[in-house]
Amino acid sequence: MRYSKIFSKSTKSTSADNESINAKLLTQAGFVDQEMAGVYTWLPLGLAVLRNIEQIVREEMDALGASEIFMPSLQPKEYWDTTNRWEGVDVLFKLKSQTGKDYALGCTHEEVVTPLVKKFVQSYKDLPLATYQINTKFRDELRAKSGVLRGREFRMKDMYSFHTNQEDLSAFYQKTLKAYVRAYNRCGLQVKVVQASGGVFTQNLSHEFQAITDAGEDVLIACNSCEFGENSEIATHNEGDACPTCNAVLVKTKGIEVGNIFDLGTKYSDAFELEFTNEEGKRQRVLMGCYGIGTSRLVGSIVEASHDEKGMIWPKSIAPALVHLVRIGEDAESVEAADGLYNELRAAGIRVFYDDRDTTAGAKFGDADLMGLPLRLTVSKRMLAESVVEWKERTATEATKVPRTDVLASVKTFAQA
Ligand code: ATP
Ligand code: MG
């Protein structure tokens, strides 16, 4: 990606939403643009991060044996009446067709997936099954003021599973819980797994996945070593106690909910009469689970958890590119050298963001820190004279010099480290 070729540039102006670090940094770096409160355009660099996260989540869901689908956001009122949620869900966006018919904009997809699966499931032989999508969700949030953490239009991966018995559902639920922790860790984020207080689904099991950062809305009593956490409102442990799972110390922290899984029991299969014929030939209700990850909220959570006074610090796995190549100088020699390195790295499959603009070194270095790609490489006349490239990792304080002939090998090693 050449900086000169993308129209979205970094900007000094902060968004109106300057209370939140993620909105400020993502906007200044040209990753997102706020259209209105809680609604954002994902610009090329931000979209690259979102896609990288969604690809990691996709791989983890595929590994569970779930199949990917894509469901409509436009949903008929009848489905929402069937579950009594047309009136019951306060954040549901409702709209009217010119024909007079009412529709909901999907804030979740139980109302679509349950009747969908009903068309395909007849007997126990058709179960279990799991299906997921990565889609845009709409919620009429009153407090859309934390940047991409709380959107009114946002991205979510939602998976639904269908089972003949509780044992099978519970086993899949536990497998999914582990896959979630893996997905967050692959995105460079440590999470706490918190048993949820219930809410709508009080009698059944539910877990939230909490990213630890000061920007969080939830207060937790969490282990400072393993994934154990409790919501402070219903905690059975105190700050300073020993962790019940690993014996390390429990501390009080703030968290952002980046995922939530539920054992739904027969709540939706009762509403839609989703049944299967069991081995004795009797009709039985299907048991369901649902599993959500807020993929756009994850982008913001990672910014909140990983930045310094100069800007964002992206983990390699989800960074828009591994290398931020800076060219200083517009002379033919510098241009040829920098273009050459850009092409060499790309040919080797390295993701490179190339700042080929005609602007000052200060502006380019400032942008590199703000954008937070893992490795900055600088080509300049001074470096060319020594046959070296300047090497500066985003998390390091000092820059070093690497012989031009060693750069590709060093970058490959860095990519794998
Ligand atoms: P919250 O309590 O933060 O409002 P929720 O519990 O209503 O979220 P779920 O229905 O559990 O959200 O949705 C699954 C996931 O989608 C959440 O864990 C969160 O990561 C993400 N999410 C929910 N609402 C939003 C939103 N308005 N903007 C961005 N992501 C969201
Ligand atoms: Mg939730």
The answer to whether position 315 is within a domain reads no
Once rounded to an integer, what is the mean pLDDT over residues 213-242? Answer: 93
Residue 30 CB less than 6 A away from ligand 1 = no
The answer to whether position 313 is within a domain reads no
Residue 257 CB less than 6 A away from ligand 1 = yes
Question: Are 340 and 365 in the same domain?
Answer: yes
Pocket test for ligand 1, best of 260, 302, 304 (most atoms within 8 A of CB): 260
Domain end: 262, 283, 308, which one? Answer: 308
pLDDT at 198: 53
Question: Are 248 and 115 in the same domain?
Answer: yes
Once rounded to an integer, what is the mean pLDDT over residues 59-71? Answer: 98
Question: Are 271 and 139 in the same domain?
Answer: yes
**Which ligand 1 atom sits closest to the C-alpha of 293?**
15
The closest residue, in CA terms, to atom 12 on ligand 1 is 260
| Contact of 45 with 367, CB cutoff 8 Å | no
pLDDT at 318: 98
**Which ligand 1 atom sits closest to the C-alpha of 217?**
3
Residue 115 CB less than 6 A away from ligand 1 = no
150-201 pLDDT, tens digit per residue, is 999 999 999 999 999 999 999 999 999 999 999 999 999 999 999 986 545 4
| Contact of 376 with 345, CB cutoff 8 Å | no
Domain end: 282, 308, 334, which one? Answer: 308
Q: Which domain holds residue 402?
A: 323-416
pLDDT at 202 over 90: no
**Cβ burial 63-77 (10 Å sphere, 16+ → b, else e):** ebebeeeebebebbe
CATH number of the domain encompassing residue 360: 3.40.50.800
The answer to whether position 355 is within a domain reads yes
SS (H, E, C) the chain: CEHHHCCCCCCCCCCCCCCCHHHHHHHHCCCEEEEECCEEEECHHHHHHHHHHHHHHHHHHHHCCCEECCCCCEEEHHHHHHCCCCCCCCCCEEEECCCCCEEEECCCCHHHHHHHHHCCCCEHHHCCEEEEEEEEEECCCCCCCCHHHCCCEEEEEEEEEEECCHHHHHHHHHHHHHHHHHHHHHCCCCEEEEECCCHHHCCCCEEEEEEECCCCCEEEEEECCCCEEEEHHHCCCCCCCECCCCCCEEEEEEEEEEEEEEEEECHHHHHHCCEEECCCCCEEECEEEEEEECHHHHHHHHHHHCEECCEECCCCCCCCCCEEEEECCCCHHHHHHHHHHHHHHHHCCCCEEEECCCCCHHHHHHHHHHHCCCEEEEECHHHHHCCEEEEEECCCCCCEEEEHHHHHHHHHHHHHC
The closest residue, in CA terms, to atom 19 on ligand 1 is 294
Question: Are 251 and 334 in the same domain?
Answer: no
pLDDT at 389 over 70: yes
Question: Are 359 and 233 in the same domain?
Answer: no
Size (the chain), residues: 417
290-333 pLDDT, tens digit per residue, is 999 999 999 999 999 999 999 999 999 999 999 999 999 999 99
Residue 320 CB less than 6 A away from ligand 1 = no
The mean-pLDDT minimum among 12-21, 72-81, 407-416 falls in 12-21
Residue 150 CB less than 6 A away from ligand 1 = yes
Total number of domains in the chain: 2
- Phi first, then psi, for residue 332 (nearest 5°) are -55, -40
CA of 90 to the centre of ligand 2 (A): 14
The answer to whether position 94 is within a domain reads yes
Question: Are 37 and 182 in the same domain?
Answer: yes
**Cβ burial 8-30 (10 Å sphere, 16+ → b, else e):** bebeeeebebeebbbbbbbbbbb
CA of 257 to the centre of ligand 1 (A): 7
Question: Are 304 and 328 in the same domain?
Answer: no
Which tokens is 391 given? 């090497």
pLDDT at 201: 47
CB atoms within 10 A of CB 311: 20
Once rounded to an integer, what is the mean pLDDT over residues 9-16? Answer: 76
CA of 258 to the centre of ligand 2 (A): 8
Which tokens is 97 given? 């067709």
The answer to whether position 169 is within a domain reads yes
Question: Are 97 and 231 in the same domain?
Answer: yes
Question: Are 63 and 112 in the same domain?
Answer: yes
The answer to whether position 213 is within a domain reads yes
Ligand nearest to the CA of 142: 1
pLDDT at 197: 62
Ligand nearest to the CA of 257: 1
Pocket test for ligand 1, best of 209, 213, 257 (most atoms within 8 A of CB): 257
The answer to whether position 410 is within a domain reads yes
399-416 pLDDT, tens digit per residue, is 999 999 999 999 999 999
Once rounded to an integer, what is the mean pLDDT over residues 340-350? Answer: 98
| Contact of 318 with 55, CB cutoff 8 Å | no
CA of 175 to the centre of ligand 2 (A): 19
pLDDT at 15 over 70: no
178-189 pLDDT, tens digit per residue, is 999 999 999 999
The answer to whether position 317 is within a domain reads no
Domain end: 308, 343, 363, which one? Answer: 308
Whole-number average pLDDT of the chain: 95
In the chain, the percentage of residues whose pLDDT exceeds 90 is 93
| Contact of 345 with 408, CB cutoff 8 Å | yes
Residue 38 CB less than 6 A away from ligand 1 = no
Question: Are 7 and 83 in the same domain?
Answer: yes
CATH number of the domain encompassing residue 270: 3.30.930.10
Q: Per-residue confidence at 25, pLDDT binned at 50, 70, 90?
A: very high
Once rounded to an integer, what is the mean pLDDT over residues 48-68? Answer: 98
Token match 């990691």: residue? 56
Question: Are 284 and 390 in the same domain?
Answer: no
CA of 69 to the centre of ligand 1 (A): 20
The closest residue, in CA terms, to atom 15 on ligand 1 is 294
Pocket test for ligand 1, best of 156, 157, 293 (most atoms within 8 A of CB): 156
Ligand nearest to the CA of 107: 1
Once rounded to an integer, what is the mean pLDDT over residues 350-365? Answer: 97
Q: Per-residue confidence at 16, pLDDT binned at 50, 70, 90?
A: low
pTM attached to this predicted model: 0.96
Ligand nearest to the CA of 210: 1
Question: Are 225 and 335 in the same domain?
Answer: no
Residue 139 CB less than 6 A away from ligand 1 = yes
